[in-house]
Amino acid sequence: MEQGGLKPEAADGMLGLLSAAAAWREIADAQLVIEAVFEDAAVKRAVIGEIEAVCPYGPVLGGGSLVLLVAFGSGFVWASALVRM
């Protein structure tokens, strides 16, 4: 298999599918939520609680390694998947 990168048009198309949110309600219909707060369990727990409150359908949740421990430790089980990023 030859190693290579994405063509610029393909990369632009993928980036066009991403968006940032400034308010929790903006992520209510998200299929993927990537949290990017610093590695502090209390902060992660608060962020996960906010995500859980506004995302009733259980998106894929991505974050650092601490997100997995906090998510499981706080009973956060509705996410369709947890992904370490």
Strand partners, 39: none
74 vs 61 pLDDT, higher one: 61
DSSP state of 75: T
Domain residue limits, the chain: 30-84
Average pLDDT, the chain: 76
Rounded Cα gap, residues 38 and 33, in angstroms: 16
49 pLDDT more than 70: yes
Name which of 42, 41, 80 is nearest 62 in CA terms: 80
C-alpha distances (whole Å) from 14 to each of 4, 18, 55, 71, 79 are 17, 7, 23, 28, 23
Place of tokens 């359908």: 57
33 pLDDT more than 90: no
